[in-house]
Amino acid sequence: MPKLKINGKDVEVPAGATIIQAYKASGQDICHYCWHPGLSVAGVCRLCMVQVEGIPKLQIACNTEAKDGMVVNNNSEMVKETVKWGLDFHLINHPLDCPICDQAGECGLQDQYMQFGAYDPEMAEQKVKKSKVVDLGPTVVLDSERCILCSRCTRFCDEVTKTSELGIFNRGDHSEIGIVEGKPLNNNYTLNTVDICPVGALTSKDFRFRQRVWYLKEADSICPGCSTGCNVKVHYNEEGLWRVKPRVNPDVNGHWMCDVGRNTYKYVNIKNRLLAGKVGRRDSWMEMSPNDATRTAGMRLKDVVDKHGPESVALVLTGQYTNEEYKDLLVYFVTGLKLKNIFHWVNNPEKLNDFDGLLFRGDRNPNTKGLEAALKLAGSKGRWEDLQAGLNGKKIKAVVVAGPEDQSVYPDMNEKVALFAQADNLVWFTACPSDALNGSGAETWQIPVKTHAEKAGTFTNFQGKEQKFPLATTIVPQALTLSEAAEVLAGKELNWALRPKSLGGAKNNYATTERGAL
């Protein structure tokens, strides 16, 4: 393991590491655009200049191997001057777009300029004009003028997705990123190119022009999109969630996440949510607070158990809740109500083991493994045929369902509602409203629950890796978690003072929520 000095600080790096990696390891800043830890080395931006003692010319840190005994710096006058000019050259053709650019606030050019540049520009040349709106595909838009040709996006498509949609066409200052006519940038990972683009050249159609990034807060989370459980950050404000971005975790998702996962913030937002409890059936529903709905449902369940015994109630769980919630709910049903009928609703059994080779899995539940473990612990045998037989034979009088948070991945929603509604009573925990539920013929309790972003908990991913995540924000404060629901079902009072409140002050600016064509 080579040991070297970086700006006077000793660091040790693995054999074969480059100087830029040594910089990262030593926690010191180095100007760079084209290098990205998840991609191959391109060495095209020439900004990561360093001075290595004994070598007369400056070297690029991203493509120079760190050797034992090296003494390296990037704070000498020579390096500073070089980097300053490097930046100035990058900005020759870069438009003054910051006021209208989505990247502003998280832009490599802005950041590096403030840190390593801060010069008076000496370029008097006319800027080369290029296309401002290039439609690369269903998710990404390119502004050619802003591109600094770092080639991160093309390397991503060559090396990570191996789809090679993007290329650099033409030469010199006419060079532009582009696609070949009829071959759009269209794979399940396209939005990573927007993340790694150091400037505002690639923007997400979904996010562009919607929010200024410095007004958004971020919180760590786990993507609920599939059983991979990519580590993510959700970006939110008082109006709700606006986007999801990957968080590095070499054991799970590396630097990336998929486009399907990027959409998981949508159903979390208030206009897609079930806000009040609904009790009734088909055409007549009564609204009440989630707490009251849960309490009355709890009383009904207790009645049914008292009259017909614990075999008359069935609990159906989906792999969309946290380990903590499964535990609390099962404690109430198994120890409290002595239930044996506990079932695992698998939404897409044929696709369960599908895998795209990168991250995305056919099991569109974040916590199938966690649910399986909880069921095992609870001693559930849970054969689906028994549930069906029990319902057909009218032995099962009440079904309690912890329904999917994301209904779009449950193609059998209607079918299952019809099946469960054969019982006289149906208690359904759901984050979002559902037409199928509104048509239920049983006496039905629709009880709003929190989404993954609104609670802390643990998901166990397909590898069996337990991943904890914190509460990000609260969008529907009155909705319950399953743990809270378990308490209320059991007749306990929640401590309202301790429950999380929403950020408040939501403004409704339609221009940020209604999308135009691009």
Partner 1 sequence: MFTLSAEGQELVKKELTRYETPYSAIIPALYRVQKENGWVPEDAVLHLSQLMNLPASHINEVLHFYTMFNKKPVGKLHIQVCTNVSCAMNGGRELADALCKRFNVKYDEVSADRKITISRVECLGSCDTAPMMQVNDRYLENLTPELAIKKITEMGG
Per CB under 6 A, residues contacting ligand FES are 32-35, 43-48, 60, 62
Q: Binding pattern to partner 1, positions 164-203, x when CB under 8 A? A: xxxxxxxx------xxxxxx--------------------
* From the list ligand FES, ligand SF4, partner 1, none, partner contacted by residue 268 (C-beta under 5 to 8 A by kind): none
The residue within the footprint of ligand SF4, chosen from 83, 157, 160, 226 (CB under 6 A), is 226
Q: How far apart are CA 317 and CA 426, in angstroms?
A: 13
Report the residue from 6, 157, 199, 297 that binds ligand SF4 according to the rule CB under 6 A. Answer: 199
Give per-residue burial for 472-504: e unless 16+ CB within 10 Å, then b.
bbbbbeebbbbbbbbbbbbeeeeeeeeeeebee
* Closer residue to ligand FES, CB minimum distance, 110 or 430: 110
The answer to whether residue 192 forms part of the interface with ligand SF4 (CB under 6 A) is no
State the binding string over 261-300 for ligand SF4 (x if CB under 6 A, else -). Answer: x---------------------------------------
**Could you tell me the smallest distance in angstroms from the CB atom of residue 242 to ligand FES?**
30
Site membership for partner 1, residue 128 (CB under 8 A)? no
- Angle CA(131)–CA(132)–CA(136) in degrees, nearest 5? 80
Cα–Cα distance between 518 and 510 in angstroms, integer? Answer: 16
If you write DSSP's letter for every residue of 460-501 in order, what string do you get? E-TTS-EEEE-----S-TT-B-HHHHHHHHTTPPP-GGGS--
Contact call for residues 88 and 121 (beta carbons, < 8 A): yes
For ligand FES, the closer of residues 108 and 290 by Cβ is: 108
Residues 163, 179: contact at Cβ < 8 Å? Answer: no
**What 3-state DSSP class applies to 314?**
strand
Q: What torsion, rounded to 10 degrees, do the Cα atoms 307, 315, 486, 371 define?
A: 160
Query: 3-state DSSP call for residue 54?
Result: coil
Q: Is 71 helix (H, G, I), strand (E, B) or coil?
A: strand
Nearer to ligand FES, 82 or 347 (CB): 82
Total chain residues near ligand SF4 (CB under 6 A) = 26
99 binds partner 1 (CB under 8 A): no
Q: At what angle are helices 384-392 and 413-420 packed, to 10 degrees?
A: 50
Q: How far is the CB of 180 from partner 1 (least distance, A)?
A: 4
Q: 28 is in the binding site of which of ligand SF4, partner 1, ligand FES, none (Cβ under 5 to 8 A by kind)?
A: none
Our CB check for ligand FES shows the closer of 114 and 511 to be 114
Interface with ligand SF4 by CB under 6 A: which residues?
A: 147-153, 177, 197-199, 201-202, 223, 225-226, 228-230, 253, 257-258, 260-261, 359-360
Interface with partner 1 by CB under 8 A: which residues?
A: 154, 157-158, 163-171, 178-183
